[in-house]
Structure 1
Amino acid sequence: MHGERKANVYCSIIFSNHGLIRLNRFVARNNPKYGFTRFKLFASRGLRVREAKESEILRSKVLSLTPDFVLVVVRFSCSMKCLREHLYPAFLLLFLVHCEDWLLDEMPKRTSLSCFPSFVLGALRGLGRAKGMDFKYAFFSTMFSMLLFCFSGTRLSAELELAQTALVEVDVSWELSRKIPDTLFGLFFEEINHAGAGGIWAELVGNRGFEAGGPHTPSDIDPWSIIGDDSSIYITTDRSSCFSQNSVALRMEILCDNCPAGGVGIYNPGFWGMNIEEGKAYNLVMYVRSLESVDLTASLTCSDGLQNLASVSIQGIDLSNWTKIEMQLLAQGTCRASRLELTSMKRGVIWFDQVSLMPSDTYKGHGFRKELTYMLLELRPQFLRFPGGCFVEGDWLRNAFRWRETIGPWEQRPGHFGDVWNYWTDDGLGYYEFLQLAEDLGASPIWVFNAGISHHDEVDTTVIEPFVKDVLDSLEFARGSEESTWGSVRATMGHPERFPVKYVAIGNEDCGKEFYRGNYLKFYEAIREAYPDIQMISNCDGSSRPLDHPADLYDFHVYTSAANLFLMKNKFDRTSRIGPKVFVSEYAVNEPKDTGKGSLLASLAEAAFLTGLEKNSDVVQMASYAPLFVNDNDRTWNPDAIVFNSWQQYGTPSYWMQTYFRESSGSVIHPITINSSYSDALAASAITWQDAEDIFLRVKIVNFGPNAVNLTISSKGLQAGVNTAKSTVTTLTSGNLLDENSFTEPNKVVPVTNMLPDASEEMQALLAPYSFTSFDLALDQYSKLVAEM
């Protein structure tokens, strides 16, 4: 009698990672009952290879659907008797026991089911209802459902059969490795999208000096509004301020003798609502004048004006001359969309100017919004390029950034209209504050100054000298001694120590303008003579051909599609190593179809590009993403790294991508090769870095393709063993290429880190499709390589 015919069977089961671990234990306990001689599953939150082995099993894979759920696909070759008596009962029972609870309740919330036909989903829900019946009945009632599910899994199984393979070889030998510049990755801050005003600068009052409507009065006072009506209050502006540089003040005339309860007055909602939190203190400063005695109340209320969160009265003070009033309001409640009210019930005229409300708790007391500053600190930036960008140039020179007008007491700063991004800034976040922010972040300041050029007008080189003198004064303000003219101003502002400005950019995106080269040379020569150590950055791209003027670095800006940026991972492979270094001061994927408001797809292309910058860091000295911030209420530019409103914030996938590179600056880069027919979809780099206790070999790999990759990582030349107890793997991926984070799902696309217990000099792993993975192998002892570099 011939042997019984063998059958090839595919079985597909969805598990939560927790359920997969429970499955391991279940199979171990029931091994004899179900005839399994060896069946072991390894799970690590959807980030590593999971393998199943049994004498009857030909092939098995685990596909990560999301960081929380996996699809186990097993191919059996067995007799019908084995199938009938052992395998079907085993898997059906396991499915019922371990999957039904979360399948009905959690799965629709956590992952996309678009890959499964609707009739399969209905069958699965029927499967869940079988729980609680006796096993015999459950088996027959669910057999049809299971077969349908297996059918849907066959296509996915076939895809897994096509998983690519790749060998990544890292050479950690001393001879072929080199140190990455300490400055490689940092930040670019531009006043765009209300990044500063209404953003990281914690001032809560918009248009605090009433200057936003222009110098001609009466003027628009937006966002200020009145409380009351035309019969009870009259509001206008005049030029009676005590500050000569910002002379506009607000005149409020109370017309009612019997004013309504609560009084009449004005209110300011800040930047789309003030976030006032119970128990926190807020510092109110304002300048007030009145020819009569006043009965004035300053309050913080919810946006409807009904919930009073804090209030203080001002009475019995002589205000016949402009008087600075300072007080603290302690919030008795929380409202995410609050406003500041200034009201009175007494007939008369009151003038206001320079009304400021700041949280008392800012980062180091320097005026920066804490939670946004913490997000910057997480990136460990090595430099801060500021304040732009086009913000530096202006659409017209009259609206360019003028550093002198942004220093000194905040009340005396005139503010200016940013005509490129179309909003007013009071310049509370000025030149001094940018230098302070760089210091607080532990980053080198890179001062981008105006080169006498805007988008629409330019200063002829023959008359550029006043601009050159202005820049030299700005450097003296930062670097001069306390005895110098401008250094003494800095000291008066509270910073006697010098700011270490070692880099300046001469203009922004001005290359090719009529007077740029001539103006550039004037600035270059003057700064080189006064400050020989300062590194100067040209706006002209020298990556393809030599510059026609001297420079220490040159700007390279790239905004493009995801596909193009991925291909640009080799952009600087053939760039000349002679001459100025590269500063990739602005990069991002900004093709709308690729990004939305910040997608996984964009971050993967950017990650690949950065691995190329690491490998070319002998010529690329600095790189920064752009833009950094966006207030969700003013999306002038998409995408951005950090999104916020008055009380929330989250990082886009592009923000989280940058966290993979925060240890790169100053680390050691190693040669790396990828051997695979699929290598066109892969990008990789390898570094050695260290923290206070350990040293790590980090291998970063971008899989920019739709296929999973069975990966072998081979590390040659290691001078130490691998400590598996401290080795980790971190993956950035999601269920859909265009997945984004949001206020409702801030962690939808974020890196997930797990231990790497099988880390070794030669190890296997599975790269998920469209993913960015970092393998950190902890080394047992300090490396001679890093020590000597």
Structure 2
Amino acid sequence: MASKRLRTGLTTGALIAGALVVAPPTVADPAVAETDYTLSVDAGATGPTIEETMYGVFFEDINHAADGGLYAELIQNRSFEFTTQDNASYTPLTGWREVSAGASGTAEVVDDDGRLNENNRNYLRLALNGDGGSADAGFGLANAGWGGIALTEGAGYDFSVWARTDQAATPLTVTLRDEHGAALAAPLTVEVTSGEWTRYQGTLTADATTDAGQVEVVAGGAGTVALDMVSLFPQDTFRDRPNGLRPDLAQAVADLEPSFVRFPGGCIVNTGTHEAYEAPDYPRERSFQWKETVGPVEERPTNHNFWGYNQSYGLGYFEYFQFSEDIGAMPLPVLPALVTGCGENQHTDDPELLQRHIQDALDLIEFANGPTDSTWGGLRAEMGHPEPFGLTHVAIGNEENLAEEFYANFEQFRAAIEAEYPEITVVSNSGPGSSGPLFDDLWRLNTEGGVDMVDEHYYNDPTWFLENNDRYDSYDREGPDVFLGEYASRDNTFYNALAEASFLTGLERNADVVKMASYAPLFAMEDSYQWHPDLIWFNNRESWPSASYEVQKLFSVNRGHEVVPSQASTTPIEQEPISGGIGLGTWLTSATYDDVEVTSADGETLFADDFSGGADRWSGNGNGSWQIVDGAYAQTDAGVEDALVIAGDTGWTDYDLKLTATKQSGEEGFLIAFGVQDTGNYYWWNLGGWGNTRSAVERGVNGARSPVLEGDTTTIEEGRAYDIEVQVRGREVTLLLDGQEWGSFTDDAVAEPFRQVVTRDQETGELIVKVVNAQDDAARTAIDLGNEVQVGDTAEVTVLQGDPEAVNTRTERPIQPETSTFEGVANAFSYTFPPNSVTFLRIPTEP
């Protein structure tokens, strides 16, 4: 077996401005190198049970996943509620433009006593001049949805609007048009005949197909007509639900066969104020509160979305419950704990408000499960679902950074829920990271408190996932169960999916501890997303799966019922010393750096710069404003993230980096990089990171970062000069701050590329052998199933294989499963797993 260096994304060569361009590895041909492995399976033995809940999905309204995505409404800003508080570029008429059909008028969005209701405050007032000179003349607005409305020839679209007029009758002509203005359907005309708000509706049938459609609403005559909740809904929705979901996106989720749906977030749950919507002085930036999202859609207030846009709440708690039921999944709602997360770090110290939210939690359970003669069960019945939804789990909180404050509130929620609904499992969480002081504190509190289940979240580079396959091997079997509610390897290449697949074999092996897992995020709009990677991508008509989706689906539909003990040989990996140049950076901070010096372990000066001659030896990633200020190198823009400049040689090993750093202004501290290969591959000491709340060392791999040393709560003061030193010896690193050792670590974790798990399908009797080979060599493997079971001589084989840099896109899907039959199965047989592959062998057995 040949020794090798694991593929990590780090490369060697001279540093240049920006990232190095690296030729991707090629997919193996018949002459590819092979590495020998053994895989022993104790086929007669039984391991942990894999719960039915093991694989689910997590939905959050991020990347326009709801409005413009899963929620099938085709009109953007249908109730004219957009505001600069949602997004600096928004106005109440965002998404709309004025149109004239031979007449003139004015369009104004107003908020006055004539509104539709107190929750839906803005409406459109069209003042018509009546100067068209013909019965068909009019003035109005057009809306093109989110980058164009996708219309399909022969399909029906339901139009509706709430309107009132000061005339005996005002005609509204509704037309579907293409981007050039050509009509795509016979016009729909409705007569507004009341001075009171009334809902008018009709259907249009498209006579052509386009991805760039728009809907035009034109009012004729004179006088004033008011419009609100202008809606265009496709008749084709998932399961034909009214106010329903886009079929292709919903079906893509259903095809994963998820056991649960975690909703509605995520950061939208516990950011913003926890105050309720109360007109007229309502808070625009509120945490997601379920009672605002049920009942008639025209009475649901809109809200600022944490991710930088407006959320309509057309997709609300009733729709989430109904979708979960439609795809056979358990609903798992997440409620705010009144401690903000996602960087806000605030605690609401208001006992009355806390009790109101606790009552909201109890009322939610009644809404989901209560009888129809109860208050909230009755509302569920009025909305069309008299039968209970069968809620069993409720999560309290999401990624809180204040451990003690969060857990104190959590305990009050749990006590109240268990007192009234002892059958409900109340889920806690462990913060936003995979390790560190906060993670440890929350796990300690949850364990001491006897919590049933803890929700873990982490987003790390692919190497971390390969290195941490055994993460849950050492977890306390008597402690809380683990719900891995959010995780992903930070990119959407097939290599990321391979790393995630490797990690999933470890989750299944530890199925006695890990009861539930869901990748995140679920959806992303192609041209408007805030987070990457994502599971399912879409535009206004099409959707396509990422490579990670294909991995998730394979594991979900081939989970099996119990783990079968197995053991595989490992890959001999030669670890080389940490090597690379140096870097200086900031994140939402202005800082200056001076007197940078790099010396070898034997005292030779490798690099020195006091910036007296400028900064020509440094190159950057293009972020920030770097300039010489008072003889030091300064990054002066405190509003930019990830401003990094680099220098030196990628071949440096065993060296000391010394420098002086001073924070000038901003939210955080310093980023001191070492072992730098390029601006995406490095280590950096993040001093005063995460809003200047803590410090840590992270490793960057192709732009994705993972913690290697969590550090402590060190923060950075403005105007103070800090002496910083980093000592690199082999794979050991020591860090000194103002002459005192701050911390040290040895980065010697092995990213094993060959991983396996075996499960048994009790219904079919099959052994499911799941093997991940995340390397450029094929894995020639001697498989021994033992003699406890009799096996058939053929197996169904499903394989994902490809270039590790491959990405599924709208036009190309290089990563798709291929299924075949393998005829060489025996109790002992050989099988070669392709390079860069995920393989599932379903082997029939008899006792």
Counterpart of 1:224, as a letter, is W
- Cα contact 1:710–1:767 (8 A) shared by 2: yes
Alignment match of 2:841 (pick from 771, 775, 778) = 775
What corresponds to 1:245 in structure 2? Answer: 119
1:308 corresponds to 2:184: yes
- Cα contact 2:48–2:511 (8 A) shared by 1: no
- Write out aligned runs for 1:22-37 (5 A): none
Question: What SS is found at the alignment partner of 1:376?
Answer: helix
Question: What SS is found at the alignment partner of 1:643?
Answer: strand
- Cα contact 1:182–1:666 (8 A) shared by 2: no
Counterpart of 1:550, as a letter, is G
- Write out aligned runs for 1:202-241 (5 A): 202-213=72-83, 220-228=92-100, 232-239=104-111, 240-241=114-115
What corresponds to 1:643 in structure 2? Answer: 537
What corresponds to 2:817 in structure 1? Answer: 751
Task: Structure 2 unaligned segments of length 5 or more: list them.
Answer: 1-21, 275-284, 431-438, 574-751
Q: Distance in 2 between matches of 1:723 and 1:480?
A: 53
Q: Distance in 1 between matches of 2:245 and 2:793?
A: 40
What corresponds to 1:21 in structure 2? Answer: none
Residue 550 (structure 1) shift: 3.2
What corresponds to 1:411 in structure 2? Answer: 298
- Write out aligned runs for 1:269-308 (5 A): 269-292=144-167, 293-308=169-184
- Cα contact 1:682–1:701 (8 A) shared by 2: yes
Counterpart of 2:468, as a letter, is M
TM-score by length of 2: 0.69
What corresponds to 2:759 in structure 1? Answer: 687
Percent of matched pairs sharing the same residue: 32
Residue 238 (structure 1) shift: 1.6
- Write out aligned runs for 1:95-244 (5 A): 160=32, 162-174=33-45, 176-213=46-83, 220-228=92-100, 232-239=104-111, 240-244=114-118
Question: What SS is found at the alignment partner of 2:365?
Answer: helix
1:669 corresponds to 2:563: yes
1:741 corresponds to 2:820: no
Q: Distance in 2 between matches of 1:259 and 1:271?
A: 34
Q: Distance in 2 between matches of 1:271 and 1:610?
A: 36
Question: What SS is found at the alignment partner of 1:759?
Answer: coil
Deviations along 1:325-375, one digit per CA (max 9) or x if unpaired, are 111111111111211110134333211011111111211222011111111
Question: What SS is found at the alignment partner of 2:451?
Answer: coil
| Farther-moved stretch of structure 1 (639-648 vs 706-715) | 706-715
Q: Distance in 1 between matches of 2:288 and 2:757?
A: 39
What corresponds to 1:552 in structure 2? Answer: 452
- Cα contact 2:103–2:131 (8 A) shared by 1: no
Q: Distance in 2 between matches of 1:289 and 1:688?
A: 64
Q: Distance in 2 between matches of 1:248 and 1:450?
A: 28
- Cα contact 1:215–1:248 (8 A) shared by 2: no
Instruction: State the Cα RMSD in Å.
Output: 2.7
Residue 575 (structure 1) shift: 0.6
1:608 corresponds to 2:608: no
What corresponds to 1:629 in structure 2? Answer: 523
Q: Distance in 2 between matches of 1:454 and 1:408?
A: 27
| CA pair 187-114 structure 1, distance change in 2 beyond 3 A | closer
| CA pair 586-215 structure 1, distance change in 2 beyond 3 A | closer
Alignment match of 1:469 (pick from 359, 363, 371) = 359
- Cα contact 2:58–2:486 (8 A) shared by 1: yes
| CA pair 544-496 structure 1, distance change in 2 beyond 3 A | closer
- Cα contact 1:179–1:666 (8 A) shared by 2: no
| CA pair 114-638 structure 1, distance change in 2 beyond 3 A | closer
Q: Distance in 2 between matches of 1:450 and 1:630?
A: 24
| CA pair 342-163 structure 1, distance change in 2 beyond 3 A | same
Q: Distance in 2 between matches of 1:522 and 1:379?
A: 36
Question: What SS is found at the alignment partner of 1:766?
Answer: strand
What corresponds to 1:702 in structure 2? Answer: 772
- Cα contact 2:59–2:262 (8 A) shared by 1: yes
Counterpart of 2:129, as a letter, is L
Residue 530 (structure 1) shift: 0.8
TM-score by length of 1: 0.74
Q: Distance in 1 between matches of 2:449 and 2:832?
A: 49
Alignment match of 1:254 (pick from 128, 131, 141) = 128
- Cα contact 1:653–1:740 (8 A) shared by 2: yes
- Cα contact 1:219–1:237 (8 A) shared by 2: no
1:374 corresponds to 2:268: no
Counterpart of 1:442, as a letter, is G
Counterpart of 1:615, as a letter, is R
Question: What SS is found at the alignment partner of 2:325?
Answer: helix
What corresponds to 2:605 in structure 1? Answer: none
Deviations along 1:544-572, one digit per CA (max 9) or x if unpaired, are 75634331100111110000111111000
Alignment match of 1:327 (pick from 191, 202, 207) = 202
Q: Distance in 1 between matches of 2:536 and 2:482?
A: 25
- Cα contact 1:382–1:665 (8 A) shared by 2: no
- Write out aligned runs for 1:410-489 (5 A): 410-418=297-305, 420-455=306-341, 456=344, 457-460=346-349, 462-463=351-352, 464-489=354-379
Residue 712 (structure 1) shift: 2.0
What corresponds to 2:238 in structure 1? Answer: 363
Deviations along 1:679-713, one digit per CA (max 9) or x if unpaired, are 9321100111266xx43211111112221111222
Residue 428 (structure 1) shift: 0.7
Counterpart of 1:185, as a letter, is Y
Question: What SS is found at the alignment partner of 2:472?
Answer: coil
- Cα contact 1:460–1:515 (8 A) shared by 2: no
Residue 270 (structure 1) shift: 1.3
What corresponds to 1:531 in structure 2? Answer: 421
Counterpart of 2:63, as a letter, is N
| CA pair 545-465 structure 1, distance change in 2 beyond 3 A | closer
Q: Distance in 2 between matches of 1:589 and 1:446?
A: 23
Task: Structure 1 unaligned segments of length 5 or more: list them.
Answer: 1-111, 117-152, 784-789
Q: Distance in 2 between matches of 1:215 and 1:190?
A: 20
Q: Distance in 2 between matches of 1:414 and 1:262?
A: 34
| Farther-moved stretch of structure 1 (343-352 vs 234-243) | 343-352
- Cα contact 2:24–2:805 (8 A) shared by 1: no
- Cα contact 1:165–1:678 (8 A) shared by 2: no
Higher share in strand: 2
| CA pair 450-355 structure 1, distance change in 2 beyond 3 A | same
- Cα contact 2:101–2:137 (8 A) shared by 1: no
Residue 476 (structure 1) shift: 1.0
- Cα contact 2:170–2:220 (8 A) shared by 1: no
- Write out aligned runs for 1:559-598 (5 A): 559-590=459-490, 595=491, 598=492
- Cα contact 2:462–2:489 (8 A) shared by 1: yes
Q: Distance in 2 between matches of 1:196 and 1:718?
A: 51
Alignment match of 1:400 (pick from 277, 280, 287) = 287
| Farther-moved stretch of structure 1 (749-758 vs 187-196) | 749-758
